[in-house]
Amino acid sequence: MKIAVFSTKIYDREYFEKYGKDKTFDFSFFETSLGTATVNLSKGFDAVCVFVNDRLDKDTIEGLASMGVKLIALRCAGFNNVDLETAKKNNIKVVRVPAYSPQAVAEHAMALILTLNRKTHKAYNRVREGNFSLNRLIGFNLYEKSIGIIGTGKIGAAFCRIALGFGSKVIAYDKYSSEDLKNLGVEYRSLQEVLELSDILSLHCPLTPETKHIIDAAALATMKKGVMIINTSRGALINTRDILDALKEEKVGYLGIDVYEQEENLFYKDLSESIIPDDLILRLNSFPNVLITAHQAYFTKEAMKEITQTTLNNIRSFEKGEALENEIS
């Protein structure tokens, strides 16, 4: 099978070459993302392999169909960027990697908390420059603080276990509570109570119409002054303008985000020599108590291995005409 891999970075290629060695697939790697402007690159391929910021809208999928592409293999779990209806109409199968490593994302959420709290990023730079002062580096103990979690699915549950390990009081809101987590000491509360009681709030629910801007001015108003907010889920869970106001008013004491509502035009690109076309992220970056990473919470060796192997298995099942375990229909 001939497969066009879009949005390829060096590390994607490394993993495909490592784990795809014994397979019969013929991969071509493209750095560009897939969309209407680049769909012609798919000519002569049986399948396309894509990631979170490729745009598989109606026109792109019709373009793929006219070139004989039969399979879209997503290297991620989310599929909000794919027009499934058009894919179905054109008899193109869509497969994904439903879960790779919840621990990777949960551990990154804790890394954001510890960095913001203990300011290790600042201490590192200071000491390298010969500044051994501790001024303004003071943090707080996580022990016995209340950590609130919205969404206790695979990632939220892994994060609950980490937070419990620090001796924190873990409170959570989810539409469905987990008996396992309750037995470990997680206390389920209403959304409002979690907002009101948390010293640190970590978001782990999916982005849906219901959760869009779940952290907005109204929610922020009910939270503790100086609260730390962590988002490793999806950018649009937070209303960026509202959180900017809350940072200015010092209502929010710390913000750690791995995702950003307008990340599509920024993340995974090296814009260090460019003019950044986004005033909101520049304003966020101007706060000393804001830490931003560019959607890297998933990025561990274990997760990359899982993503690659599942993608290869998905393509192999398609090639062999087997049932597609990870098909999105």
Q: Which residues are catalytic?
A: 234, 263, 295
- Name the one residue in this structure whose structure tokens are 């950018």: 235
Does residue 156 belong to the site contacting ligand NAD (CB under 6 A)?
Answer: yes
Buried b (16+ CB within 10 A) or exposed e, 212-245: ebbbbeebbeebbeebbbbbbbbbbbbbbebbbe
Q: Which lies closer to ligand NAD via its Cβ, residue 118 or residue 189?
A: 189
Q: Select from 13-21, 115-123, 146-154, 278-286 the region that touches ligand NAD (CB under 6 A).
A: 146-154
How many residues comprise the chain?
329
Does residue 102 belong to the site contacting ligand NAD (CB under 6 A)?
Answer: yes
Among 174, 199, 261, 263, binds ligand NAD (CB under 6 A): 174
Q: Select from 43-51, 112-120, 172-180, 272-280 the region that touches ligand NAD (CB under 6 A).
A: 172-180
Does residue 257 belong to the site contacting ligand NAD (CB under 6 A)?
Answer: no
Does residue 51 belong to the site contacting ligand NAD (CB under 6 A)?
Answer: no
Positions 177 through 196 that interact with ligand NAD (CB under 6 A): none
Contact 171, 193 (CB under 8 A): yes
Does residue 204 belong to the site contacting ligand NAD (CB under 6 A)?
Answer: yes
CB of 157: closest distance to ligand NAD in angstroms?
Answer: 7
Q: Select from 13-21, 112-120, 130-138, 200-208 the region that touches ligand NAD (CB under 6 A).
A: 200-208
Q: Select from 22-30, 119-127, 152-160, 243-251 the region that touches ligand NAD (CB under 6 A).
A: 152-160
Encoded amino acid at 63, one letter? G
Question: Tokens at residue 252, please?
Answer: 């929010």
Does residue 295 belong to the site contacting ligand NAD (CB under 6 A)?
Answer: yes
Q: How much is the CA Rg of the chain, to the nearest whole Å?
A: 22
Q: Which lies closer to ligand NAD via its Cβ, residue 196 or residue 319?
A: 196
Q: Which lies closer to ligand NAD via its Cβ, residue 70 or residue 161?
A: 161
In DSSP terms, 17 is beta-bridged to: none
Does residue 231 belong to the site contacting ligand NAD (CB under 6 A)?
Answer: no
Triad 10, 261, 52: Cα angle to 5°: 35
- Residue of 69, 70, 95 whose CA lies nearest to 82: 95
**CA 195 vs CA 49, 64, 190, 228: distances in Å:** 39, 45, 9, 11
Among 72, 150, 236, 247, binds ligand NAD (CB under 6 A): 150
Contact 104, 155 (CB under 8 A): no
Q: Which lies closer to ligand NAD via its Cβ, residue 71 or residue 259?
A: 259
In DSSP terms, 227 is beta-bridged to: 252
Secondary structure class of 278 (helix, strand, coil): coil
DSSP H helical ranges for the chain? 10-19, 58-66, 84-89, 102-118, 120-128, 154-165, 179-184, 191-197, 217-221, 240-248, 279-285, 301-320
Helix axes 301-320, 10-19, angle to 10 degrees: 60
Among 12, 46, 258, 261, binds ligand NAD (CB under 6 A): 258
CB of 257: closest distance to ligand NAD in angstroms?
Answer: 10
Does residue 75 belong to the site contacting ligand NAD (CB under 6 A)?
Answer: no
Q: Alpha-carbon distance 53 to 12, whole Å?
A: 14
Question: Tokens at residue 320, please?
Answer: 């062999």
CB of 123: closest distance to ligand NAD in angstroms?
Answer: 25
Q: Select from 117-125, 147-155, 220-228, 312-320 the region that touches ligand NAD (CB under 6 A).
A: 147-155
- Residue of 12, 4, 94, 8 whose CA lies nearest to 305: 12
Residues in contact with ligand NAD by the rule CB under 6 A: 77, 99, 102, 105, 150-156, 173-176, 204-208, 210-211, 232-234, 258-259, 295, 297-298
